[in-house]
Amino acid sequence: MKTIRLHEATPPLGPPPASRWQFGRLLTAPHRLGFAAGAALLATSALWWAAVLAARKIGVELPWAVAPLLAHGLLMALGFMPLFMTGFLFTAGPRWLDVPPVSATALRNPVLLMLAGWALALPGFHLAAGLAAAGIAALALGWSWLVLRFVSLLRASRAPDKLHARLVASAAAIGALAMLWAAVAIGAGHAGALRAATQCALWGFLAPVFASVSHRMLPFFTASALPTMDAWRPNTLLWAMLAAIATELAFAVAELGWWPLPAAARWLQVAIELPAALLLLWLALRWGLVQSLKVRLLAMLHIGFLWLGIAFALGAVSHALMAASGGEHSLGLAPLHALTMGYLGSTLLAMATRVAAGHSGRPLAADNIAWTLFWTLQCAVLLRLAHALWPAAGAVLLLAAVGAWAVAMVGWALRYGNWLGRPRSDGRPG
């Protein structure tokens, strides 16, 4: 009888080496590098803010070199968002522009510079403003490097339609200027300038990029998944959205230096926001919000876009209250968080989930885990709006909102970050 040796009969423990998570795989595709960096900062920022609020609740006084609300706004606007944009733009951008793909290794150094910037800025928020300023300056340099790289793709392109890419590049350049502005403001200790830089980042950079991408991709994805829908997206709609966003930027910056704004200015703002809200809510229905509910991944994108219309509607109500009360009454931060957590957060989660699934060889669908994470995010948005509308409820709603946000964001980072460092499940390269 043949003797079987133990080491021959016992299978090796764990996955084979070829399927293990490896840092080197992040350099095999732009979305892997950008999304992994973004996911790491997304989870870190969610846990950091949850810890800050929990410490405040139990009476622990943390040191602050930069005011906590200013630090929070800057991190949530310019932390993980540009990194996820890097992964998306250098994956989809070459296809939009009909140019050769971009190697992830060409993006490695600016991405690392941006991560290093936040590694300095986060502790700097607590310990030393100069350290935070140096970190944001490094962030500005890294992002500017990436913007120039994207502009080089634009210049090399002979594609007939470059409108969306040009708009994204222009907004990204505004983002680089906002980062540099923020670094100078922190170094100078000028809170008003830092608030203005954050507003420019939000309304001059993030909102235009997301609106441009929504206009290009949402009708296309809908028509691909639902044959009864068409990919209707006239450019007049895009210009209308961008005009409304630009108006919000102008008013946001104006009110930093002139508070409260005169009632006439507020009514003018309402006269712009209300039609914009109606247009966006109608557009959400026209693009197939109701029909999209049959397809989870598509529904995530449509629900995200719906929040843009809700944000403008809440803004119109809030500014009407301010106009009628001389600035005494408003909806607080509800419109802002409908935009940031609702529109930007939901669209980011939906788009990153779609790209991560499709480029990992997995089904292009939202499974139960993705669907649960998305609805956890929606709960976080609703809780945050509830706290803004009913501040008398105290910190309970705020802590619940931040906790739900942390669960959704950390959960996404762990689940999809795990995919990013592993080979495609179908064996194909990429």
Nearest alpha carbon to residue 46 among 79, 20, 87, 89: 79
Residue 285 contacts by C-beta under 8 Å, 6 or more apart in sequence? none
| Burial environment of residue 200 by CB neighbours within 10 A (0 to 12, 13 to 18, 19 or more) | buried
* pLDDT for 327: 87
Which residues lie closer than 8 Å to 377 by C-beta, 6 or more apart?
341, 345, 346, 349, 404, 405, 408, 409
| Helices marked H in 202-338 | 207-225, 235-257, 263-286, 289-292, 296-325, 334-337
- What is the predicted pLDDT for the residue at 2? 43
Report the first-to-last Cα separation within the chain, whole angstroms.
48
Phi, psi (deg, nearest 5) at residue 218: -60, -50
- What pLDDT score was predicted for residue 13? 46
Report all structural domains of the chain as residue ranges with CATH numbers, in order of start. 26-420 (1.20.210.10)
Closest CA to 37 of 95, 132, 116, 90: 116
40 burial level (CB within 10 Å; 0-12, 13-18, 19+): middle
The DSSP secondary-structure symbol of 288 reads T
Q: Which pLDDT belongs to residue 182?
A: 98
Could you count the other beta carbons within 10 Å of the beta carbon of residue 243? 11
Task: Give the pLDDT score at 17.
Answer: 56
Distances in whole angstroms, Cα of residue 159 to Cα of each of 62, 97, 155, 168:
53, 5, 10, 16
- What's residue 257's pLDDT? 84
- In the prediction, which pLDDT does 425 show? 75
Q: How far apart are CA 378 and CA 404, in angstroms?
A: 9
Residue 16 pLDDT: 56
> What pLDDT is recorded for position 360?
86
| Residue appearing with tokens 């235009």 | 208
pLDDT of residue 8: 39
Other Cβ atoms closer than 10 A to 5 = 7
Sequence-ordered list of residues with C-beta below 8 angstroms from that of 153, at least 6 positions apart, any chain:
93, 94, 97, 99, 102, 165
Point out the residues of the chain with pLDDT beneath 50: 1-14
Residue pair 373/366 in contact (Cβ under 8 Å)? The answer is: no
Eight-state DSSP code of residue 206: I
Determine the Cα–Cα distance for residues 419 and 152; give it in Å rounded to an integer: 30
